[in-house]
Chains A and B, each alone.
Chain A
Amino acid sequence: MIRHDFIFAGIDLAVLSTGALWWPAVRTLCVSDLHLGKSERIARLGGTMLPPYESHETLARLEGDILATGAQTVICLGDSFDDLPASENLDDTSTLWLARLMAGRRWVWIEGNHDPGPVEFGGTHLAELHAPPLSFRHIARASAAGEISGHYHPKARLSVRGRTLSRPCLLYDSDRVIMPAYGTYTGGLRSDDATLSHLMRPEAVAVMLGPEPRAIPMPRAPSQG
Chain B
Amino acid sequence: MAWFTARGWAPHPHQLAMLARAKTPALMLIAPTGGGKTLAGFLPFLVDLAENPAAGLHTLYISPLKALAADMRRNLMAPISDMGLNIRVEDRSGDTPASRKKRQRADPPHILLTTPESLALLLSYEDAPRIFAGLKRVVVDELHALAESKRGDQLMLGLTRLAAMCPGMTRVGLSATVEDPPALARYFHAPGCDILTADPGPAPHIEMLHTNTPPPWSGGGGRYAIPEVLEQVKRHKTTLIFHNTRAQAEIFFHNLWLANEDALPVAIHHGSLARASREKVEAAMVAGQLRAIVCTGSLDLGLDWGDVDLVIQVGAPKNVKRLVQRIGRANHRYNAPSKALLLPANRWEVIECHAAIEAALAHDLDGDPRGPGPRDVLCQHILITACAAPFDGDRLFHEVTRAGPYSALSKEAFNACLDFVATGGYALRAYDRWQRLLQRPDGLWQLRDPRAAQRIRMNIGTIQDSDTLKVRMKGGRGGKPLGEVEESFAASLVAGDTFLIGGQIVRFEGLREMEVLVSKDRGRKPKVAVFMGSKFSTSTQLSARILDMLQRSPLPDLPAHTAEWIRLQASVSQLPRAGRVLVESFPYEGQAHTCVYGFAGKNAMQTLGLLLTRRMEDCGLGPLGFVATDYACLIWSVDPIPDPAALLTQQGLLEGLDGWLAQNALMKRAFRASATIAGLIERNLPGKRSTGRQATFSSDILYDTLRKYDPDHLLLNITREEAMQGLIGFARIQDMLTRTHGKVDHVILDRVPPFAAPLFLEVGKVPVEGAGAEKLLTAQANRLMAAAGLS
Contact = CB atoms under 8 A, between A and B. Distances in A.
A89 B433 CA distance: 10
Interface string A62-77: 0000000000000000
A143 interface: no
B679 A51 contact: no
Q: Which of A48, A159, A163, A184 has the most CB of B within 10 A?
A: A48
A24 interface: no
Nearest to A214: B781
B790 A217 contact: yes
A109 to B, nearest CB: 20
Contacts of B695: 187
Interface stretch (B169-177, B223-231, B725-733, B772-780): B772-780
B679 A205 contact: no
Given A57-B705, A215-B790, A216-B785, A187 B774 contact: no
B713 interface: yes
Contacts of A51: 424, 426, 702, 705-706, 709-710, 713
Contacts of A159: 492, 494
Contacts of B488: 164
Interface stretch (B118-126, B449-457, B646-654): B449-457
B1 interface: no
B264 to A, nearest CB: 37
Given A53-B705, A152-B694, A46 B431 contact: no
Contact of A164 (B435, B491, B693): B491
A158 B709 CA distance: 31
Interface string A32-62: 0000000110011011111111101100000
A51 B701 CA distance: 10
Contact of A188 (B494, B693, B705, B787): B693
Nearest to A55: B430
Interface in B675-715: 679-682, 693-698, 701-702, 705-706, 708-710, 713
Contact of A186 (B431, B694, B709, B776): B694
Contacts of B709: 51, 53, 56-57
B766 to A, nearest CB: 12
Nearest to A190: B693
A181 B696 CA distance: 13
A165 interface: yes
Contact of A48 (B451, B682, B781): B682
B424, B705, B776, most chain A CB atoms within 10 A: B705
Contacts of A205: 785, 790
A203 interface: yes
A64 B284 CA distance: 66
B784 interface: yes
A212 interface: yes
30 contacts: A39-B430, A46-B451, A46-B452, A47-B455, A48-B680, A48-B682, A49-B431, A49-B434, A50-B424, A53-B428, A57-B705, A91-B428, A152-B694, A153-B694, A162-B492, A164-B488, A164-B491, A165-B773, A185-B697, A187-B694, A187-B695, A188-B694, A205-B790, A208-B777, A210-B777, A211-B774, A214-B778, A216-B780, A216-B781, A217-B784
Interface of B: 423-424, 426, 428, 430-431, 433-436, 449, 451-452, 455, 488, 491-492, 494-495, 510, 679-682, 693-698, 701-702, 705-706, 708-710, 713, 773-774, 776-778, 780-781, 784-785, 787-788, 790
